[in-house]
Structure 1
């Protein structure tokens, strides 16, 4: 397992490369060009700049997260041709700077969605929180009006510069069903996976977060059955999954360990994090420790060890600890603690394996 750490850039992150390089076992950053709009071709000089920064810190840039997919591709509009061609050229350039894996998602309009970015926990730390009643059966356009009237009501994907476009985006998605989205995803894969394969890059789709429809928008990368269907859309080792235990784990019916064993050859990238799911469907992101949440993180790391996983992983979201002021979910302290927990489980599994012992279920 190759451990990475997500980094948003020198002007957009409170965590420095010098700090990342001091976390034991971290060999690379997981990065993106966050200032390039979705659908536009990435400039080579910016990619080279990130590569050279990372190299000076002794880190690789093997994994990109994310090269965002333009909404016109998800909607299946004629204009998708232009954006897909830009995506192909970006893949070609990323290969030239050494990228091995591209993480992306196919969620309409939003990336991950939470209702509180700093929910206080019992120990005084804060974390990302999802309150189902605030999302379920709420008219999203009414929520846009509420956000405009209340600056304290904020959620990822609802930044002020995007609000003006949300109304037209929701209108565009009227009538788009899950089957439409599957068709549009298949078209996208058939266009870009051959290009990725030619350049030795593995594409890795991220599950929908949370893994169910929101605001009436279809979501399809949500379960083991749907991941199985996804992989059959374009059956290639270069068409893979970013297996995120936190996203999928928000639905307790999802068996992450089973997914690891079934899809082991198609997981170039793993997000490993824990969530605590409540009986009413709410969930909060916890420490990585198995006992603190609902997801069996120890079992997940054991499963990766059992399959001989050599792909990339990162600790994903963390809590906000010790007064740290940081990007929500992306501070230094809890993600570094999470890495050490993951390595501890991994080392324990390796030790037992070396002595011919099995971990009890």
Structure 2
């Protein structure tokens, strides 16, 4: 695996110098300041390459921009409304400029309205650190009582709806505002966030879009962009829903292995692939992460290695961001399957035999607690995670004791 690190640009509290010291050899980044649906120009792409390649003192960093995360798919494309045709054309132009600059892997998602969703971004841990958490009762309190979505109560069990009512009754105005901000904050690094009225407007437009309709829109998008990606030598890889179950009555179509199989079979091309995010998919107890890697591994183009700990066995349940080796996903078993897939690719002569990986998310520990970095992306917590993952990888790749 190529060990990479997500970087949000010059304003990121983790610097390029920090990334080199953490031991990563590549960078995952995006042009977050460009609105969804607009073209990424050659000039802006070249600027980001230069920023990644340069330390604070002007010397070469030795780092390369290896993965784009994300080249966003606009809501117009997902809903097939407004300027969606123009946005698809802009997507193709952006891919061409990225390919010209040497980038081969582009991550994106097809989550409607809300991207990754958490109810608490600084949840206190017993050891004094903090992490992100999704609490189904808190989310229900937002959905039923703050957003006041019509019919929302019917989407939750009686126990969850009752607990949501109790929690809402105990919230002061500041707590209600903080919960709303946490839920609607948008993509990591994005300058785009939504008000409650924005969310309500999107929900109204999605009211007539069933899961099958959204899946059809997704396949239309893939049929439009994958041939261009294949011609350019770009490997597109879709990130799963996070969390991997329905929210706000919206269709979620990338939550299970069956969802991915449908998408990969619908547009059968090496340019149409998967971002295997063990944290997103691992929040759902019926997802078998090592098995998914074993069965779909030839189309996995990017890896997010992180772990979550679920409160219970409910499909739509609460969870928190655990240490990388301490959650409900057997990370050693998953990495063993990744190593085997890379061995198969190398034996077959595939140029992409080394799959880019990044330590996704992390707990805020030590000096992270004072930095207040991008939620989920603390420097020290991710460095700890990378070190743990690197140890597992080293053992499993050992020439005498490793897997084969």
What range describes the TM-score normalised by the shorter chain of this pair?
A: over 0.9
* 1:227 lines up with 2:260 in the alignment: yes
SS at structure 2 position matched to 1:155: helix
Show the counterpart of 1:152. 178
Tell me whether 1:329 sits opposite 2:376 in the alignment: yes
Please state whether the residue corresponding to 1:314 is helix, strand or coil. Answer: strand
**3-state secondary structure, aligned to 1:285:** strand
| Cα-to-partner distance string for 1:288-316 (whole Å, 9 max, x where unaligned) | 12xx2111111111111122251111011
d(CA) in 2 for partners of 1:85 and 1:139?
A: 35
Q: Which moved more, 1:132-141 or 1:280-289?
A: 132-141
Rounded to whole Å, the distance in 2 between the matches of 1:243 and 1:68 is 17
- Taking a change above 3 Å as real, the CA distance of residues 357 and 91 of structure 1, as seen in their structure-2 partners, is closer
TM-score (norm 1): 0.93
Q: Secondary structure at the match of 1:30?
A: strand
What aligned pairs does 1:1-361 form with structure 2 within 5 A after superposition?
1-11=1-11, 13-24=12-23, 26-56=24-54, 57-77=61-81, 79-136=83-140, 139=143, 142-143=146-147, 150-153=176-179, 154-158=181-185, 162-163=194-195, 164-279=197-312, 281-289=317-325, 292-308=326-342, 310-324=354-368, 325=371, 326-351=373-398, 354-355=399-400
| Contact preservation (8 Å) 2:395, 2:401 | no
* In 2: Cα distance, 1:244 partner to 1:342 partner: 14
User: How far does the alpha carbon of each residue in 1:170-208 deviate from its partner, in whole angstroms, 9 at most, with x for none?
Assistant: 111112110001100000000001111111110000000
Q: Distance in 1 between matches of 2:367 and 2:194?
A: 30
Q: Does the 8 A contact of 1:7 with 1:30 survive in 2?
A: yes
Alpha carbons of 1:225 and 1:137: their partners in 2 closer, same or farther (altered >3 Å)?
Answer: farther
CA shift for structure 1 position 3: 1.0
SS at match of 2:66: strand
User: 1: CA distance between counterparts of 2:143 and 2:129?
Assistant: 32
> In 2, distance between residues paired with 1:224 and 1:39?
28
User: In 2, are the aligned partners of 1:111 and 1:156 still within 8 Å (CA)?
Assistant: no
Q: How many residues align?
A: 353
* Aligned CA distance change for structure 1 residues 357 and 243 (closer, same or farther; 3 Å): closer
Deviation, structure 1 residue 140: 6.5
Farther-moved stretch of structure 1 (217-226 vs 129-138): 129-138
1:286 to partner: Cα distance: 1.1
Tell me the distance in 2 between the aligned counterparts of 1:9 and 1:129: 25
- Listed as ranges, the gaps of 5+ residues in structure 1 are none
CA RMSD of aligned residues (A): 2.1
